[in-house]
Amino acid sequence: MTEVAAAGFQPVTEDARPTPQAPLAPALVWLMAVTCGLVVANIYYNQPLLAEIGRTFNLSESRVSLMATITQVGYTLGLLFVVPLGDKRERKGLTLILLLCAAVCMAAAAVAPTFTLLAAASLLIGIFSAVPQLMIPMAASLASDEERGRVVGKVMSGLLIGILLSRTISGYVGAHFGWRTMFWVGAAVMVLLTGILARMLPRNQPQFAGSYGSLLKSLGTLTAELPVLRRSALVGACMFAGFSAFWTTLVFFLESPAYRYGSDVAGLFGLIGASGAFAASFAGKSADTKGADYALNLGILMFLGAYLLLGFGGYYLVGLIIGVVILDIGQQITHISNQARIFTLRPEARSRLNTVYMTASFIGASVGSFVGGLAWVHFEWPGVCAVGLAFVVLAYLVNRFYGRSGGSPATVG
């Protein structure tokens, strides 16, 4: 193992490695999947509610859309500074602490008297909602080599369904009960989930023995040493940017003269997109059998086709619906394939590998929300679709050409 002792690593010998794992109980896999879905929803509840929040505080579309960006920035900070602790601290205890903190912040958002305080609460919600990125490496560490792709795919199915259904639920609740009610509901769900996981989630002790500073320093070491990690992170950033540009601006498109729908209908598009979340399981199986690159290229192609359809047919309801389904399937396939690829690189550092990848991805998501909001303000729907196409083309070029020469087979995919 070449990972620098100065970066805080204590090399794992063959004798110190965990014994092969028995297949995970389906109930535990589903518990992890549901946890990911319920927690990641905290980040996306606000998207169908942006127009209503803007009316509450008398804000322009461009300013209120910053709330989605701020929440994703918070999630990125959680990925960067909290998730690496999954390789150092016992993951169950860390998860429970984060869930309780998220509940408090959701309640603070529900009573926020000004947009500034709501934005501050949203930043903290993002930070403490990084739990799914602890669950996924935990599932990968508990799974055997033969089932790892399938297990990660199933857990990711829960996360992706949570992302999409959160928009449906919040759109409905916001339209009928007000946007503050949605944050109260989210806080209650976090408290309930904490109680369930305290009883049912197994303890999972990681192997890293260095300090927190060396833990963070090792993120740079891993990034420098692994071209596959860098390539996956860049592809993930581009794909999440294109994905986020669409979902951040969809509510404005649906409320525009093209459709004249409310937040409840905008939320229903999350339900439509959720029908594609089961592609995560397919992606995991494909990564196990055909290799991650095969599924990744398929996902990029579908994402590209979706944005072409949305650009030319998005003004027709059937075109918009089909485009949403294809877009979500493409995003999910590329995301699972990227994670399956990086989790094979350094088994003892899966939380940190996931940190590098997901931090890049949510930096991309934040950029996508911001650029998508600007594109909507200046060019409306054609501008949003042009932004999405630009990001997916960049993802293809990075995956095709970056980090493909030099290095050893172990590090270059």
pTM over 0.85: no
d(CA 373, CA 380): 9
**Sequence letter at residue 56:** T
Query: What pLDDT is attached to residue 9?
Result: 40
Q: Give the model confidence (pLDDT) of 331-377 as tens digits.
A: 888 888 888 888 888 887 888 898 899 889 878 988 998 899 899 99
User: Residue 99: what are its φ and ψ, rounded to 5°?
Assistant: -65, -40
Query: What pLDDT is attached to residue 131?
Result: 92
Q: Which fold has domain 23-401?
A: Growth Hormone; Chain: A; (1.20.1250)
Query: What pLDDT is attached to residue 280?
Result: 60
Q: Give the model confidence (pLDDT) of 205-229 as tens digits.
A: 777 777 888 888 899 999 999 999 9
Query: What pLDDT is attached to residue 371?
Result: 94
Query: What pLDDT is attached to residue 277?
Result: 63
- Write down the domain spans for the chain: 23-401
Residue 116 has pLDDT above 70, yes or no: yes
What the block records as the tokens of 92 is 């169950």
* Mean pLDDT over the full length of the chain: 84
pLDDT band at 6 (very low <50, low <70, confident <90, very high): very low
d(CA 401, CA 50): 38
Query: What pLDDT is attached to residue 268?
Result: 77
State CA 395 to chain mean position distance.
Answer: 17
202: number of Cβ within 10 Å: 12
pLDDT band at 413 (very low <50, low <70, confident <90, very high): very low
What the block records as the tokens of 36 is 């990911």
User: Residue 88: what are its φ and ψ, rounded to 5°?
Assistant: -125, -40
d(CA 140, CA 152): 6
State CA 59 to chain mean position distance.
Answer: 27
pLDDT band at 98 (very low <50, low <70, confident <90, very high): very high
pLDDT band at 245 (very low <50, low <70, confident <90, very high): very high
d(CA 394, CA 137): 28
d(CA 86, CA 207): 10
Looking at 119-123, 286-290, 322-326, which range is the least confident one? 286-290
What the block records as the tokens of 232 is 């996956």
Looking at 4-18, 22-36, 258-272, which range is the least confident one? 4-18
